[in-house]
Amino acid sequence: MDALPDELVDYALSFLSLDRDGLDLDSLKHASLVHSRWTHAAQRYIWQAGAELLTPDDVDQFIKTAPRRTSGPRELAVHAHASMHQLTRLWDVCGDGDLKMLMIATPTRDVDPAVLVHPALKGLKQLILQGWFVRKESPSELDYPFRNLESLVAVDLSPSRRSPLDQFLTSLAPRCIPALESISLPAIPSHASEAVARSLVPFAPHLKHLGVSLNDRTTERHFIPVLEAAMRLHSFECTTLPYSLLGSMPPSLAVLATMEDAEQLDPPKLRDVLFAQCPRLERLFFACTRAEFEARPEGGDVLRIARGKGIDWRFGGELDE
């Protein structure tokens, strides 16, 4: 064991880390016990794997044990916290830009965007937020440290009429364009749709993926400018499938997914508008069953046309190959 250079040990153990196909935590733990010279490298990869903190006590424990760790986490999921101050203390022990993925999923707690203004978050590439978003008086003054954020999932569960989701997106734009290429907004309140759509327009030319909840058909028109500007869009995911938007789908679109009910689907419109508008279409994911779609007027014919175009069309209950 002593004959192996440290660099070779580190390289061998890296094949068990997050940087490869996937973390092999058990093997890393075993490797840390093989030899004292293996311990440091193996534990570093273990610490980099990150943590899932389920309670405020878990957060406190993670903070208290920070001196034992030789590396900051790459991924961190926080499901509960005592306060914004506790989160700030948590970022303090996360290293200098080591964190690449952060999830704050606290459905019953406030999410104050100001807590994201911390140097430890400068390396973030993926951000997932769930909770009651807090409206700020001067959001433009929030100087977020991340400049390479690639993916954002924001689930605003604020009570009706209070949603500041548009404000949060607007404050992100100067810092995250053009790096941000994927935005998913699974819970857009109907009353906030117009403002949220307007805040998405600056991001649109750089987006490769967009996911939105369109639960009110009276608000779908607000998203037409977003789609018209999204000329690089590869995939679009939506709850309902508003036909007023089909004609605005960018030609670059390759993947479309929807949760639309079968009785609301109009196969001829999909054929006449979507297929013509999106020549690069490769995959469709519909939540209804294949039988339900085929039962719609001309449903079977449209499926045959899609097959002829080489479109992989999946329905609810069908597994990916």
Say yes or no: 165 and 291 in one domain: yes
Q: Into how many domains does the chain fold?
A: 2
Beta bridge partners of 283: 255, 312
Specify whether 301 is located in the same domain as 175: yes
Whether residue 127 lies inside any domain: the answer is yes
pLDDT at position 207 is 98
Q: What is the pLDDT of residue 41?
A: 57
Q: For residue 320, is it within any domain? A: no
Maximum CA extent, the chain? 73
- Looking at the structure, tell me whether residues 43 and 68 fall in a common domain: no
Q: Is residue 197 part of a domain?
A: yes
Q: Tokens 């929807």 identify what position? A: 258
Given this model, what pLDDT does residue 320 score?
60
**Judgement on whether residues 95 and 44 belong to the same structural domain of the protein:** no
What local confidence, expressed as pLDDT, does residue 98 receive? 82
Question: Residue 55 has which token pair?
Answer: 């309670």
pLDDT score at 110:
85
* CATH number of the domain where residue 82 is located: 3.80.10.10
* Contacts of residue 36, Cβ cutoff 8 Å, sequence gap at least 6: none
If asked whether residues 36 and 68 sit together in one domain, one would say no
At residue 101, what are phi and psi to the nearest 5 degrees?
Answer: -130, 125
Residues 117 and 153 in one domain: yes
Are 33 and 154 contained in the same domain?
A: no
- φ and ψ at 184, to 5 degrees? -125, 125
Residue 77 lies in a domain: yes
Contact 79, 53 (CB under 8 A): yes
**Helices then strands (H, E): number in the chain?**
13, 11
Q: How many whole angstroms separate alpha carbon 252 and alpha carbon 204?
A: 13
Q: What pLDDT does residue 153 have?
A: 97
Residue spans of beta strands (DSSP E) within 188-316: 209-212, 235-238, 255-258, 283-286, 312-315
Give the model's pLDDT for residue 267: 94
Q: Considering the domain boundaries, does residue 89 fall inside one?
A: yes
Q: Are residues 168 and 34 in the same domain?
A: no
Q: How far apart are CA 4 and CA 141, in angstroms?
A: 52
Beta bridge partners of 151: 126, 182
Each residue's pLDDT, cut to its tens digit, for the chain (321 residues) gives 455 555 555 555 455 454 545 555 555 455 555 555 555 555 555 555 677 899 999 999 989 988 877 777 888 999 999 999 999 999 999 888 789 999 999 888 888 888 999 999 999 999 999 998 887 767 667 889 988 999 999 998 877 666 788 989 999 999 899 999 999 999 888 888 899 999 999 999 999 999 998 876 777 889 999 999 999 999 999 988 888 888 899 999 999 999 999 998 999 999 999 999 999 999 999 999 999 999 999 999 999 999 999 999 999 988 665
Pair (111, 188) in one structural domain: yes
Rounded Cα distance between 72 and 137, Å, is 33
Determine whether 321 is exposed, middle or buried from the number of CB atoms within 10 Å of its CB (0-12, 13-18, 19+).
Answer: exposed
Residue among 230, 246, 227, 244 at smallest CA distance from 284: 246
Measure the CA–CA gap between 82 and 289, rounded to whole angstroms.
43
Amino acid type, 263: E
User: Are residues 44 and 74 located together in one domain of the fold?
Assistant: no
Nearest-angstrom CA–CA distance, 88 and 84: 6
Residue 232 resides in a domain = yes
**Is the Cα torsion angle 225, 228, 230, 236 positive or negative in sign?**
positive
Residues β-bridged to residue 110? 132
What is the reported pLDDT for 72?
77
Same domain, 166 and 238: yes
**Whether residue 45 is found in the same domain as residue 162:** no
Q: What length is written for the chain?
A: 321
Residue 133 to residue 185: CA distance in whole angstroms: 13
Backbone Cα Rg of the chain: 23
Evaluate whether residue 58 is within a structural domain. no
Q: Residue 244: its pLDDT value, please?
A: 84
Q: How far is the C-alpha of 256 from the C-alpha of 258, rounded, in Å?
A: 7
Domain membership of residue 194 (yes or no) is yes
Q: Which domain holds residue 90?
A: 64-315
